[in-house]
């Protein structure tokens, strides 16, 4: 609605603009002729009237059309965000955060520019040309034909030459990305560079890359530096035509000098709308491809929430039967035919070398990754039939690299609650071994985390995540290498606190550290997606298998030392 009113004002604006030069002509012809004040004043009056109309319609046009584009942008952004919240974790796994953020900001902005300026400038240029042509024709058909010829040449050049510019522009972007990547690598590997004294070598390589970048930039500059002035030059030939062709017509009496002035003003009003067409064209192209990238998000398949069941209450019993899994678009089986049972009150350990599939198993258990029907059930209910939200009430995961939000520690622990109960939060924090750390923070549990607050160490982050999991009444708690950055003494303490609690829940500890697994009721050892052996610590140490080898390797890691400390403490 608003937008069509906007277009009405757009046309009105161009109409009023087309009228004003006529009064300038009137004045000039009067001055060089009879020079009567009333005639002059009359012309001024009309010129002012049309200026006022121009001003009003210009204001309304911008406000309506650009304003609507911002509102559409607002809506689209809300839609994208809502979509992010509906998509499951699998969607995010194979995509870079930076890329998704860029799609929902930069690409959205390109779409907005297409809808706003793009939608305003094209009809603006077209309606201006359409309204000006009859007036120009009435002033001098010959000059008008010349001007149309010039406009056509410029427009055709814009249409055909702009794509060539884009190729060069893309090359510059690629070069820029290469610089980005190189600097990123060199900062990440700075210690390697220092230890191998590669400073000089890397500086020389960077200089070369930089030189190459400049080469690409100058390619673009030479092209663009020629193209734009050339468009302007071709259009400015209109001035020459007005002087020479128009001059002839004035001399022959076909035109008055005032009419030549009017024609001249009209042409100057056309300059910007014509030359901006190239810019508008690239806006449209960018906007369309950006919309494509946004659609990839908006059209991504979602989890089906209808007809989902809940997990029945009762004593926890998790059954894994013949679980196999491979990631989409991959042929490699990450897990092969795994079976295990987890009962309420139990602590189950899972270990194995890097890449054995233990983290995948964790994510399947808590439903972040979806297992095929019949493979995992909780309390007799197949979890593929349970919605992620409902499953979340029963199971929870503490990942190795937990994500903390930029808010207070208390809010991070009681995630999703607006007014958490301080005692409950504190008690969870205590169990997670955060007490001492909290005492060191000026604002304790109300300290902000991240950008605007304190920076937490890896171990502190992991413990906040444990507190977060303990705060909830989930009956299955999966710790996926969740204590890797915590020192062995604190680790032991937290595990002790967990086993004190485990009567109401089951705990799955995934770790490559024997110290974390030792006291588990049952330990599964995975290798290449298969369960190689299982049993208690004592049983497994007794066998000459993978577990024993892992244990021996870690002996030097100072398990004995931490035990000794505990003895002293």
Partner 1 sequence: MKTPDKKKRLFKRLIPTLRKHVRLAVLSVLLMILVDLAGVLKPWLMKTGIDRFVRRGDIPGLTRIGLILAAVLIAGFLLQVIFTITVQYLGQRLLFDLRMELFQKLMRLPASYFDKTPLGKTLTHITSDVEAIREFISDGIVTVTGDILKILFIAAAMVMLSPRLALAAFLTLPVFVIATGIFRKSIRSGFRDVRKANSDINTVLTETIGGAREIQLFQTKEERAAAFEVCNHSYLSAYLRVIQAYALYFPVLEIVSNGGMILILLTAHFFMGTALEPGVIFAFFAYINMFFFPLRQMAEKFNLFQAAMAATERVFHLLDQPEQISEVAVPAEFPETGKLEIQFQNVTFGYDPAQPILKNVSFEILAGEKVAFVGATGSGKTTVIKLINRLYDIGDGKILINGREIRELPARSLRKRIATIPQDPFLFTGSIADNISLHRPGISDSDIRLAAEKSRASHFIETLPNRFDEAILESGKRLSAGQRQLLAFTRALTSEPELVILDEATANIDSESEHLIEAAVEEITRERTAIIIAHRLSTIRRVDRIFVFHKGKLVESGTHEELLQKNGLYCRFLPEKE
> Minimum distance from CB of 362 to partner 1 (Å)?
11
Which ranges of 367-451 does DSSP label H, i.e. alpha helix? 388-392, 409-413, 422-431, 435-440
Query: Of 58 and 285, which CB lies nearer to partner 1 in the complex structure?
Result: 58
Cα(459)–Cα(487) distance, rounded to whole angstroms? Answer: 8
Tokens of 518: 């030792």
CA distance 428 to 412: 12
Give the strands of the sheet with 347-351, arranged side by side: 395-398, 476-480, 506-510, 347-351, 522-527, 530-535
Q: Which of 341, 557 has the CB closer to partner 1?
A: 557
**Residues 281, 284: Cα–Cα separation, whole Å:** 5
Minimum CB distance to partner 1 smaller for 118 or for 258: 258
Within 13 Å and on the Cβ side, how many CA atoms surround 234? 18
Question: Residue 377: which of 434, 324, 317 has the closest Cα?
Answer: 317
3-state class of 97 per DSSP? helix
Distance CA 309, CA 292 (A): 36
**CB closer to partner 1, 198 vs 424:** 198
> With respect to partner 1, which residue has the nearer C-beta, 160 or 403?
403
Nearest approach, Cβ of 251 to partner 1 (angstroms)?
5
State in angstroms the smallest separation of the CB of 287 from partner 1: 17
CB of 54 to partner 1, least distance (A): 6
> With the C-alpha atoms ordered 447, 451, 454, 458, is the resulting torsion angle positive or negative?
positive
Q: Which two tokens stand for residue 567?
A: 């003895």
Name the minimum Å distance from CB 561 to partner 1.
Answer: 5
Residue 322 CB, shortest distance to partner 1, in Å, is: 26
Would you call 263 helix, strand, or coil by DSSP? helix
Q: Is 81 or 341 the residue whose CB approaches partner 1 more closely?
A: 81
Nearer to partner 1, 285 or 489 (CB): 489
Listed in sequence order, the DSSP H helices in 189-320 are: 190-195, 199-241, 247-252, 257-298
In this structure, the dihedral spanned by the alpha carbons of residues 140, 143, 147 and 153, taken in order and rounded to 10 degrees, is 140
| Closer by beta carbon to partner 1, 426 or else 486 | 486
Q: Which of 523, 498, 497, 512 is nearest to 551 (CA)?
A: 512
Residue with tokens 């969870």: 428
Q: Closest approach of Cβ 445 to partner 1, in Å?
A: 18
Q: How far is the CB of 314 from partner 1 (least distance, A)?
A: 22
Q: What angle do CA 210, 215, 220 make, to 5 degrees?
A: 125
CA distances from 415 to 77, 331, 405, 453 (A): 24, 37, 9, 18
Instruction: State the DSSP H helix or E strand holding residue 525, giving kind and residue range, or none if neither.
Output: strand 522-527
Alpha-carbon distance 75 to 117, whole Å?
A: 18
Identify which of residues 97 and 500 has a Cβ nearer to partner 1 in the complex.
97
**CB nearer to partner 1: pick between 348 and 478:** 478
The least CB distance from residue 163 to partner 1, in Å, is 21
Quick one: 70 or 443, whose CB is closer to partner 1? Answer: 70
Q: Distance between CA atoms of 270 and 277, rounded to whole angstroms?
A: 11
Q: Which residues contact 565 (CB under 8 A, 6 or more apart)?
A: 489
CB of 475 to partner 1, least distance (A): 14
């Amino acid at each position: 609605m608003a937008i069509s009113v906007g277009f009405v004002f757009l046309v009105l604006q161009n109409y009023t603009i087309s009228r004003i030069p006529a009064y300038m002509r009137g004045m000039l012809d009067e001055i060089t002729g009879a020079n009567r004040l009333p005639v002059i004043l009359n012309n001024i009056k009309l010129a002012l009237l049309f200026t006022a109309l121009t001003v009003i319609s210009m204001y309304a046009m911008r406000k309506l059309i650009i304003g609507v584009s911002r509102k559409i942008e607002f809506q689209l952004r809300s839609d994208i965000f809502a979509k992010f919240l509906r998509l499951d974790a699998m969607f995010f796994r194979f995509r870079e955060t930076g890329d998704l953020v860029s799609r929902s900001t930069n690409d959205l902005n390109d779409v907005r520019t297409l809808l706003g300026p793009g939608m305003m400038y094209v009809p603006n240029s077209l309606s201006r040309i359409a309204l000006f042509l009859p007036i120009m024709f009435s002033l001098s058909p010959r000059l008008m034909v010349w001007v149309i010829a010039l406009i056509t040449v410029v427009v055709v050049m814009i249409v055909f030459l702009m794509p060539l510019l884009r190729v060069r522009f893309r090359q510059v972007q690629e070069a820029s990305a290469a610089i980005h990547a190189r600097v990123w690598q060199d900062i990440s590997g700075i210690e390697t560079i220092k230890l191998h004294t590669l400073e000089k070598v890397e500086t020389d390589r960077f200089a070369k890359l930089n030189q190459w970048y400049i080469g690409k930039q100058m390619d673009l500059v030479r092209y663009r530096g020629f193209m734009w002035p050339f468009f302007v030059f071709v259009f400015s030939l209109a001035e020459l035509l007005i002087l020479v062709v128009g001059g002839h017509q004035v001399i022959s009496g076909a035109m008055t000098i005032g009419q030549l002035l009017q024609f001249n003003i009209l042409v100057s009003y056309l300059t910007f709308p014509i030359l901006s067409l190239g810019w508008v064209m690239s806006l449209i192209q960018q906007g369309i491809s950006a919309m494509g990238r946004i659609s990839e998000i908006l059209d991504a398949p979602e989890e089906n929430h209808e007809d989902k069941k809940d997990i029945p209450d009762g004593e926890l019993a998790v059954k894994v039967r013949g679980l196999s899994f491979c990631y989409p678009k991959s042929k490699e089986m990450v897990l092969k035919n795994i079976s295990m049972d987890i009962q309420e009150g139990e602590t189950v350990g899972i270990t194995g070398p890097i890449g054995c599939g233990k983290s995948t198993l964790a994510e399947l258990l808590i439903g972040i990754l979806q297992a095929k029907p019949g493979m995992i059930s909780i309390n007799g209910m197949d979890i593929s039939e349970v919605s992620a939200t409902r499953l979340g009430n029963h199971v929870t995961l503490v990942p190795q690299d937990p994500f903390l939000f930029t808010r207070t520690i208390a809010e991070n622990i009681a995630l999703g609650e607006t007014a958490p109960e301080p005692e409950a939060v504190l008690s969870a924090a205590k169990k997670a071994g955060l007490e001492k750390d909290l005492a060191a923070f000026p604002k304790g549990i109300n300290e902000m985390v991240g950008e605007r607050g304190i920076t937490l160490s890896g171990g502190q982050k992991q413990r906040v995540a444990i507190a977060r999991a303990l705060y909830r009444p989930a009956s299955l708690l999966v710790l996926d290498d969740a204590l890797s950055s915590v020192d062995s003494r604190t680790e032991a303490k937290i595990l002790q606190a967990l086993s004190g609690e485990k009567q109401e829940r089951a705990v799955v500890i995934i770790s490559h550290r024997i110290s974390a697994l030792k006291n588990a009721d049952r330990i599964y050892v995975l290798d290449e997606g298969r369960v190689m052996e299982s049993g208690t610590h004592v049983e497994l140490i007794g066998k000459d298998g993978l577990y024993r080898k892992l244990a021996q390797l870690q002996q030097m890691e100072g398990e004995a030392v931490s035990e000794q400390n505990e003895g002293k403490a």
